[in-house]
Structure 1
Amino acid sequence: MSLFSNTISTLESALNYSSLKQKVISQNIANVDTPNYKAKDASFKATLQQAVDQSIHAYRSDGRHYDFKQRPQTNAAVSTRQNVQYNHNGNSVDLDKEMSDLATNQIYYNAVTERINGKFSTLQNVIRGGK
Structure 2
Amino acid sequence: MQLFSGNIQTLEKALNYSSLKQKTIAQNIANVDVPNYKAKAVSFKEVLADSSSQIEANRTDPRHFRFTVGSEGPQIYTKHNTEYNHNGNNVDIDNEMSDMAANQIYYQALIERLNGKFSTLQNVIKGGR
TM-score, scaled to structure 2:
0.89
- The alpha-carbon deviation at position 59 of structure 1 amounts to 5.8
- The alpha-carbon deviation at position 2 of structure 1 amounts to 4.6
1:7 aligned partner: 7
Alignment of 1:1-131 (within 5 A): 2-53=2-53, 55-58=54-57, 60=59, 62-68=61-67, 70-131=68-129
Code of the aligned partner of 2:119: S
TM-score, scaled to structure 1:
0.88
Segments of structure 1 that go 5 or more residues without pairing to the other structure are: none
Code of the aligned partner of 2:17: Y
Percent identical pairs in the alignment equals: 62
Query: Following superposition, which runs of at least 4 residues in structure 1 exceed 6 angstroms of deviation?
Result: none
- The alpha-carbon deviation at position 58 of structure 1 amounts to 4.4
The total of aligned residue pairs comes to: 129
Q: Secondary structure at the match of 2:89?
A: coil
Segments of structure 2 that go 5 or more residues without pairing to the other structure are: none
Q: Is the 8 A contact 2:49 2:69 kept in 1?
A: no
Q: Is the 8 A contact 1:14 1:112 kept in 2?
A: yes
Q: Secondary structure at the match of 1:21?
A: helix
Code of the aligned partner of 1:46: E
- The alpha-carbon deviation at position 11 of structure 1 amounts to 0.3
Q: Secondary structure at the match of 1:42?
A: strand
Q: Is the 8 A contact 1:49 1:74 kept in 2?
A: no
Distance 1:114 1:57, change over 3 A: same
Code of the aligned partner of 2:43: S
Q: Secondary structure at the match of 1:17?
A: helix
Code of the aligned partner of 1:102: M
RMSD (Å), alpha carbons: 1.8
- The alpha-carbon deviation at position 24 of structure 1 amounts to 0.3
